Amino acid sequence: SEHASPRKPVTEEAYVASRFLTDPVRLLDASPTCDGGAAVVISSSRQLSQRPGNVFVRIAGSGAATDILAVHQRPEPLHLHAVEKSLAEALRRARLTHDAVDIFELHDAYSIMATLCLESAGFVPAGEGTAFAQDGNIALRGVLPVATFGGLKARGHPVGATGVYQAAEMLLQLHGRAGDNQVRGAEVGVIQNIGGAGASVYTHVLVRE
């Protein structure tokens, strides 16, 4: 991706050779912090969509949820309850189901977070997120494309600006302007941003109209 922060391929050998941050999380499991710039224009007027060349993308539903900050104090440390609740609320407000989602822009600050988000959001059963990804289901032509511009791990993680970056990237997808990263026929995208290892989660459902 031209938007990627690390510009060199990562091999399995390089991953295994990278140092542990805390076992079993390695350096190459972590997203690189970076600078970045993105902007989103939000309007309640449909007149913008009527201008030649404009594609109207509607915020169909939003959801926010919180959880216990300290992961070790949570009843189920491997289930991100705020991810589950915020996505369920966003889909409910959008009057859509999981099956309607064409792209899921999750918050993969670490490799394990991508797996836990897929599972906790309800797209795959608990414990099956890794196998789901290995089977190619999260690729551009997969069942549920994920992090189509590389996500936080490849594109980079500008921390406070990450959520806006996700929105801008999803807009490119729904406009059909994502270039080599384009998901064909994408009409419904979900963006989800996380703070505090799942302590606060914000989810938006964006729909092309």
Full-model pTM: 0.92
32, pLDDT greater than 80? yes
| Per-residue pLDDT tens digits for 118-144 | 999 999 999 999 999 999 999 999 999
Lowest mean pLDDT among 13-27, 42-56, 103-117: 42-56
Instruction: List Cα–Cα distances, 2 to 18, 70, 148, 150, in angstroms.
Output: 24, 36, 12, 10
49, pLDDT greater than 70? no
pLDDT of residue 94: 98
Q: What percent of the chain has pLDDT over 90?
A: 76
Helix (H) or strand (E) segment spanning residue 94: helix 81-94
CA gap 20, 138 in Å, rounded? 26
What tokens were used for 10?
């990562």
pLDDT of residue 1: 65
| Per-residue pLDDT tens digits for 169-196 | 999 999 999 999 999 999 999 999 999 8
- The average pLDDT across 156-167 equals 88
69, pLDDT greater than 80? yes
CA gap 20, 24 in Å, rounded? 7
Burial 168-204 (b: 16+ CB within 10 A, else e): bbbbbbbbeebeebbbeebbbbbbbbbbebbbbbbbb
99, pLDDT greater than 70? yes
